[in-house]
A and B are shown apart, each in its own frame.
Chain A
Amino acid sequence: MRPRVVVTGLGVVSSAGVDRQAFLETVAAGRSCLTQVNDPRYQPSLRVMAGLVGKLPQVPGLPPDWPALDRFVQLALAAADQALRQAGVAPAGMGCRMGAVLGTCSGPTTLIEEFYQAALDGKAELSDGQAFRMSYGSAVRALARVFSIGGFTSTVTTACSAGITAIGTGADLIRSGLCDAVLAGGADAYNISTQIGFDGLKAPSDGPSAPFSKPTGLCLGEGSAFFVLERFDCVKQRGGSILAEVLGFGTSNDAIHCSSPDASGTGQSLAVVRSLEDAGLDRDRVGYVNAHGTGTLANDKAETKAIRRVFGDKAARLPVSSQKAVFGHTLGAAGALEAAATVLCHEKGVLPPTANFTEAREGCDLDYVAKAGRPWPDDSRGHVWIKESFAFGGHDASLVLGAAQSAEPDRSSPLPLARVCIAGIGLVTSAGAGREAFLRLLSSSGPTLSECAPPGHVPFRAALVPDELDPALERRLGLRRMDKAGALGTVAAHLALVDAGIVLRPDVAAGVGLYLGHSSASNAAEASFVPDLLRNGYVLQSVAEFPFVVPNATAGTICRSLGLRGHNAAFCFGDGAGLMSVLAGAVAIQNRHTSMLLAGAVDVLTQRGWGVPLPDGGQAPAEGAVFFLLEEEEHLRQRGGRSLGHIGGLAVATHAGGSWSQRPAADTVRSVAELALRQAGMDAAALGAACGPAASLLGHVTLGVASRMGLAQACDPLFELASGLFASSPFPRTLLGSLSTRQGLTASVILDSLFQEGS
């Protein structure tokens, strides 16, 4: 039976307050904290307002040998500190039982801008330290270090729904039994290039934003919020106090457009319906919806439609409000900040109002709790709330939260964890698309290398995926209008589905999910959009690339091109992100968010992501893409599919101490592998083969593939695992996959063959 997840700590930093009390007072009063942006770089003709934090509160510092990190990291540290203090948990004593998940949209964009400016000036430095500073994963690494968090750590990069998805993912980790507690939330700092991108989309408001009201338009903001999530029984045992319960989590992808929401509200409503199904609650139990409510014409209308879709006639009487007029659209922090506002306001008994509301807009006809807060309805319906967030890339997410009092009576036990199989593998390497090309490369003496010289780099040689892949596939999938990452990802995802025998009819595609892991979050759009802005003195020349600057754009492209609308997220995990994405995907299926989910990674040559001194010297960097189709075992059995392996065990730890670039010690790597083995109910002697750093520690010869295909930062461990699976086909044995990264992560997964076709 899956454990219940409760909230025991909350921390908030925003323009509405840098502590819980001040924040609550401002939000409950509906006081708008938007102020004029006064940045000299910003065109004076474009006068916009934003929710800016100003001076940050004192936060626990990082060790002096760490490089100075981005403002979004400082925001995250400040909010996380509050949350952990309130919960009173001591992560240091919990080892890998405590995890951290951080959501962000723009991440270290200010530092990234500095990098491109230096590159334009011919002074770019691409040391390990600089690469780390510009990594979306830098914040969660800092959280792990400062607060000694040693379990599963990851960064959710689903843009404006990242905060919600981080909290949902954190809850999943607990429900899967991987962690007893997770620090989960979001953080984003205000920066000019993001503002100008939104300007180009004609999204901003001329004055203070007024969601669902006239006039239209959004105001950006900055901030952070963190939740301490814990297992209900652990909290009871230690006598901790409960603030709220995480009842359900659901996501979807619109699969329609890179930046505009699904105008029909279908995609958004799908996420909400899934979160209610996950909670096992009827929609009638919901007493309040905390809206995404950005203030834009497109969002507010679509969201109102989506709420009507979910709640039908009852939508008219359901209070719905948005806090974005109070502290702005804080992007990756928004979901977490607004969920925190909901929890805090409920505690005070006030429905949080929609500030700046004057006159309802056409198509916006719900009860938006206009202007002033009012007493929270005092019935059982008032105890269950929805927090929804929607994002670029079509990533929709919804969380069902419950009041602390709802956590007391025993709820019926949720379904047991589902069992997860690998049903198909899709591969793209420098040798081309498909398994044949992959195997050809594996048996070669090494990849064909090309000379590369991205601007600001020392020239180097790399194994690139040819621009012309397979003409038939290119025509079939419409790759000509995609960027390279989107194209490679689409091909690998398509091949994984074909390998699994899945025909993507619309009803099938609507249920197929996608988890994309990336190593450093650098993409072609960023390398063109940001330098263009800098060159043109922050005057926008082109907006087409802006929606592709967010790291989840590649996942969005894949979902759009294949019509995938199932459970969806993008993560930054550092090196070996593909394997981590498979583990996260397995957790999602265990929690029954979907019965089929593509999990994998894409590596393409980019100006910022490459050229960093490579960890193991020697191997040339490589491009590639890989997706595993993960499937719930029962679903696979019923459709008569074939399993390449069942995920028997998985374990993850983060090296919390020491330097920012320290790999986990051999002892940690081995103990994580042994933990995974124990979960699978076997010992090391029973393993048929092993890949990654744990192999030699367990007395196996590793199946390293980098010498044959170059080192694909994110894909490599999955390439290894795939080679292991192909080598042992038909699959009579057990296989271990593992990784240890410069970002301090170590993970192991056990594949066994408990279910075979016809068995």
Chain B
Amino acid sequence: MTPENQQLIDARKPIIDHLKVELIKRLNLPLEPADIHEDVALLGSGLGLDSLDALEIVLCVENAFQVTIADNNIAVLRSINTLVDFVLEQKKGGVVTP
């Protein structure tokens, strides 16, 4: 693996792992972390979460990574990957640990 890619994985993986574990615990999902593809839709189809679940995800991300997600920013709530992109963008340059 190229060192650049390894670096990108090191930045991304802890956020993904944390979010999956939290999502399963907080939302009582009948899945294992490995069962949740990072691109699967969170709301509507896919995991089929609802508006309260969305607030819970927002709170979870905000508390874990010290970021703020605006009330109307539904674009970041589309998948785990869009959430991770948002967190990394907000923390640009800094180290992100949950």
Contact = CB atoms under 8 A, between A and B. Distances in A.
Establish whether A and B are touching in the complex (CB under 8 Å). yes
Contact of A544 (B30, B52, B63): B52
Contacts of A260: 50-52
A258 interface: yes
B51 A543 contact: no
Contact of B51 (A200, A257, A542): A257
A481 B31 CA distance: 11
A499 to B, nearest CB: 28
A482 B28 CA distance: 8
A540 B59 CA distance: 8
Contacts of A201: 52, 55
A257 B51 CA distance: 9
Given A480-B28, A481-B29, A543 B50 contact: no
A202 interface: yes
Nearest to A548: B52
Nearest to A297: B71
Given A200-B55, A542-B56, A543-B52, A481 B28 contact: yes
A544 B51 CA distance: 10
B38 interface: no
Q: In terms of DSSP, what is the predominant structure of the interface of chain A?
A: loop
Contacts of B21: none
B30 A480 contact: yes
B48 to A, nearest CB: 10
B27 interface: yes
A202 B56 CA distance: 11
B63 A543 contact: no
Interface in A240-273: 257-260
Contact of B60 (A258, A259, A542): A542
Nearest to B25: A542
B60 to A, nearest CB: 7
Interface string B25-65: 01111100000000000000000001111011001100100
A729 interface: no
Contacts of A482: 28
Could you say which of A260, A482, A542 has the most chain B C-beta atoms within 10 Å of its C-beta?
A: A542
B28 A200 contact: no
A610 to B, nearest CB: 23
A540 B28 CA distance: 19
A93 B30 CA distance: 58
Interface in A159-213: 200-202
Query: For this complex, into which size category does the number of interface residues on chain B fall?
Result: 10 to 19
A257 B28 contact: no
B52 A202 contact: no
Nearest to A298: B51
A195 to B, nearest CB: 16
B27 A481 contact: yes
B32 to A, nearest CB: 13
A258 to B, nearest CB: 6
Contact of B53 (A480, A541, A544): A544
Could you say which of A200, A257, A540, A544 has the most chain B C-beta atoms within 10 Å of its C-beta?
A: A544
B70 to A, nearest CB: 11
B30 A543 contact: no
B41 to A, nearest CB: 17
Contacts of B53: 544
A202 B69 CA distance: 12
A544 B71 contact: no
A544 B29 contact: no
B26 A542 contact: yes
A611 interface: no
A547 interface: yes
A200 B30 contact: no
Contact of B59 (A258, A259, A480, A543): A543
Contacts of A258: 52
A281 B12 CA distance: 63
B27 A544 contact: yes
Given A202-B71, A541-B63, A542-B60, A259 B52 contact: yes
Nearest to A482: B28
Contacts of A547: 52
Contacts of B71: 202
A259 to B, nearest CB: 6
A527 to B, nearest CB: 16
Contact of A257 (B26, B52, B56, B63): B52
A200 B59 contact: yes
A259 B71 CA distance: 17
A193 to B, nearest CB: 16
Could you say which of B28, B52, B56, B59 has the most chain A C-beta atoms within 10 Å of its C-beta?
A: B52
Nearest to A474: B30
A353 to B, nearest CB: 29
A201 B50 CA distance: 13
A541 B51 CA distance: 17
A216 to B, nearest CB: 10
Contacts of A541: 59, 63
A257 B55 contact: no
Contacts of A259: 52
Given A541-B63, A542-B60, A202 B28 contact: no
Interface in A412-470: none
A77 B55 CA distance: 38
A535 to B, nearest CB: 14
Contacts of A543: 52, 55-56, 59
Contact of A202 (B27, B29, B55, B63): B55
B28 A542 contact: no
A258 B28 CA distance: 15
B26 A544 contact: yes
A542 B52 CA distance: 11
Contacts of B52: 201, 257-260, 543-544, 547
Interface in A478-525: 480-482
B56 A544 contact: yes
A428 to B, nearest CB: 20
Nearest to A541: B63
Contacts of B56: 542-544
B27 to A, nearest CB: 7
Interface in A541-591: 541-544, 547
Contacts of B55: 200-202, 543-544
Contacts of A481: 27-30
A544 B56 CA distance: 6
Contacts of A257: 50-52
Nearest to B64: A541
Contacts of B59: 200, 540-543
Nearest to B55: A543
B42 to A, nearest CB: 14
A543 B53 CA distance: 9
Nearest to A481: B28
Interface of A: 200-202, 257-260, 480-482, 540-544, 547
Given A200-B59, A257-B50, A542-B60, 12 more contacts: A201-B52, A257-B52, A260-B51, A481-B29, A482-B28, A542-B26, A542-B56, A543-B52, A543-B56, A544-B52, A544-B53, A544-B56
13 contacts: A202-B71, A258-B52, A260-B51, A481-B30, A540-B59, A541-B59, A542-B59, A542-B60, A543-B55, A543-B56, A543-B59, A544-B53, A544-B56
**In the A-B complex, the 10 residue pairs with the closest CB atoms:** A544-B56, A480-B30, A481-B28, A543-B55, A543-B59, A260-B51, A544-B26, A543-B56, A259-B52, A541-B63
